[in-house]
Structures are given as C-alpha cells and as structure tokens.
Copies of this chain bind each other. A is one copy, B any other.
Amino acid sequence: MQSAQSFPKVAAMPQFLDTQDAGFEAAFTALLGMKREDSPDVDAVVAGIIADVRARGDAAVIELTSRFDKLDLTPDRLAFSPEEIAAEVAKVTPEDRAALELAAARIRAYHERQMPEDACWQDSCGATLGWRWTPVSAAGLYVPGGLASYPSSVLMNAIPAKVAGVERLVIACPTPGGVVNPLVLLAAQLSGVDTVYRIGGAQAVAALAYGTETIRGVDKITGPGNAFVAAAKRRVFGKVGIDMIAGPSEILVIADADNDPDWIALDLLSQAEHDESAQSILVTTDAGFGRAVVAAIEGHLETLERRAIAAASWRDFGAVIVVRDLDEAAALSNRVAPEHLELCVADPDDLATKITHAGAIFLGGWTPEAIGDYVGGPNHVLPTARSARFSSGLSVMDFLKRTTIARMTPEALAAIGPAAERLAISESLQAHGLSVRARLDRLNGGQR
C-alpha cells in the first residue's frame, strides 16, 4: 500500500487516504467535517441594511450602491434601459452568442420535462381529491457582479422560472464602477427576463423582497451571492421564498484505472479553480491511478490561469481516497453527498443505482462535469456542503407551488365526517367538530 510518503514534497499535495489504513475512519470523518467556508458574521450589518431599505426605499438603495459599488444612480437608472441592454448585447461575438443560444435551448428542453402534472380523482367514498400546480407570480434572480458574474447562471435560474410560467422575472446584478458583462445581459434577454437592476448585496435582496418606490417586490428570490447576500436571503426567507443558501462548490470523482489520468485531473481542477474553498475528491480503486492523477494535476497547476486558487483548494481540501471496490466507493460518496459526482467506471449505470445522495451525477468518462455547467441541460445550481442529503438542485419546482383540492359529497361527509368530529373533540377544537356536525345533522334530518 502506498501512502503520502511516496510522493515528493510539492506545494499542492492533497490528502491521500486508504480505506484499509488504520486511521482511515478518523481521517475521513475529519474530511467530512472540514469547515471550508470562512463566513464572516455579517448578520448585524445585513439586518441594518434591510431595515434601511424598508424605511427609505430607493434613497437607501442608491446610497448603499454608491458606497459599496462606487456607482451613482438615480431612481430612473436603477434598471438598465432597453437601449443600454441593446448596446451591451451588440458587443457579444457571434460565436459566444451561438454557444449561449445552444445552452439556453438545451436547458429549456430539459426543464420543460420537469413540469409536474395536476391530479384529480374520486376515492371510494365519493370524495374528489387532487392538486393543482400554479407558478409564482414574480421572481427575482440575484446575479453576482465582477469575476463571478456568470452568464450560464443567468440561464440556469431564469429558464426554469420562465418554463414554470413566472409572469414577471427580474435580475439584480451589481455593476461595480458601472462595469457589466455583456453576456449576462444577453443571457437575460435569451431567457425572457423583464428587468435587470444594476444593484447588488443585501440592499438588492431587501429591495426585491420588500419593494421600493421604483422596484416592485417579488415573491421568490434565487441565485448565488456573497456572505451579505446569503445572510440577507436567510433574513427575508418567509416574507418571500428563497432557493437555498449556497456554499462553496465540490466534486467527487469515482474512477477506476481505465481512465486517462489527465481527463480526471482536469475534472478535479475545474472544481478547484472556482474558489479556494472548493473541494475536489478522487475516489479510486487503484492507488497507482490516484498517483497518476495527482501528478497530472501538479503539471496543470504550473500553467493554469487560476493556478493560485486551484492550488490552494487542492492543497487544503483536495483528497485522493483508495478503496477496495466500487461498493465501498459508493458508500463513501453517499456520506459526502457531493454536489457533483462523476462515475468514471466501466458500468456507471450500475454504480449510479448505489448512489443515494448527490446533486448531479455524470456518467462515464465522456461526461466531464463542465458539460453540466453549461450545455448538458440539467441545472448547475446544486446543493452544496453535504445538503444533497436533504435538498435538490434548482428546477421548475422552485417556481411552482401546489394547491391541494378536496370536495366532499353529502355521502362522503357521512362516511368520514364522524371520524373528523371525533378527532376534533380529542384535540379540544370544538368549532372544528361543530362545523362537521352541523352538516351531518342536516343529512340525518336533524336540526335545520
């Protein structure tokens, strides 16, 4: 069995674990419990910003945008004008536009299949039961500014909303110093966004949740953001719906020896390059293959544009885990509940049946995770930080809600009403019971 000692000392060496080592369980538990995010406690600041926006509306938003984004706005310039959007969108190259259009079409086709169906049936006692789905009326998408201003994320948030039938769809995207990414505006246009506000931070979340003189409030806010945005979303949750509190991204790759180490290295790096807090884990049945992947990563880290970020992520949070077999690999992966999971093995479909917790699965060596980020079709907004144990990626369901339906006939009420009355009495809710009893009495020819 090889261990970390057999590696030369390099800058960005990940953890190297083996399930057959004595200390494995402790090391793996430590890996699971690693605190990757350095989330500053901005809650008090955010509470103040929200209160300010609620009290002073546009004036507060404009003042905070000037302070944080170095951008001076007026109420009529909070949103991009159609002319401004057209001028920015005109800068996009035909190649970039074609790529974005392909992505939009594929994401739309995938999400259209997610539309759930209404249901209605009669049960044995004659009651009609069922449910109906209706869209959220208005949604707001938060799009980060600067480096993390990803046009692909605009598509991933906006298209499911439009497929669900959301009537009014707006974006809040800060433009520090007035700089905007033309591709973000094109993505908004391609997905049917109605309005793009050039505001960000907790003030944008507050404005979307509570509305201002100029900005109409929405019912649901989705999209990633920094610590201020996350804290603001948590605070406005309840007043409006939110998607999730996203954490740093992660990937777990299960690979056997029959893979090109370079492909797997690049897949791991494509997660690591996102963020110093990102996590890339390789689980392999072959220690030699694991070492080859580590070597390939070392090589790429010499030339990669974002090598400082990727190296830090790989060094601090990366791991190579050697397992006895694929069953063990699946069991470990389920404990991690990774956001992204690649199954680079001979029979990925079989291995997939053993996976119980993962945001998205990429089957086989020809499916790099990056395909899912852009053009695969499934959503790239996925549960991070082990939350795939209890939550799902963004979908049309996030922009729909279900209304349950029930209709009793007199016969149905006669059949099940007495049980309802009995339970109401047992819970000391007399009026509940009487509301049933008054109807039963009518049926029995009783009073009234």
Contacts and interface: CB of A to CB of B under 8 A. Distances in A.
B427 A150 contact: yes
Nearest to A264: B435
Interface string A406-423: 111110110011111011
B363 A95 contact: no
A403 B341 CA distance: 10
A364 B408 contact: yes
A429 to B, nearest CB: 6
A129 to B, nearest CB: 5
Contacts of A220: 390
Interface stretch (A21-29, A188-196, A319-327, A381-389): A381-389
Q: A interface, by DSSP: helix, strand, loop or mixed? A: mixed
A78 interface: no
A183 interface: yes
Given A371-B420, A428-B305, A402 B392 contact: yes
Given A406-B363, A434-B266, A413 B371 contact: yes
Interface in A147-161: 147, 150-152
Interface of A: 95-96, 98-100, 102-103, 106, 109-110, 113-114, 116, 119, 121, 123, 127-129, 131-132, 134, 136-137, 147, 150-152, 183, 219-220, 234, 237-238, 240-241, 245, 247, 260, 262-263, 266-267, 269-270, 272-274, 300, 304-306, 310, 348, 352, 355-379, 382-383, 385, 387-393, 395, 397, 401-410, 412-413, 416-420, 422-424, 426-436, 438-439, 442, 448
Contacts of A364: 407-408
Contacts of A152: 423, 427
A96 B428 CA distance: 13
Contacts of A391: 241, 401
A149 to B, nearest CB: 9
Nearest to A242: B390
Given A359-B404, A438-B266, A430 B388 contact: no
A131 B408 contact: no
B355 A403 contact: yes
A113 B102 contact: no
A435 B368 contact: yes
Most buried by B among A96, A245, A266: A266
Contact of A267 (B103, B359, B435): B435
Contact of A131 (B267, B378, B405): B378
Given A113-B121, A238-B385, A266-B435, A127 B376 contact: yes
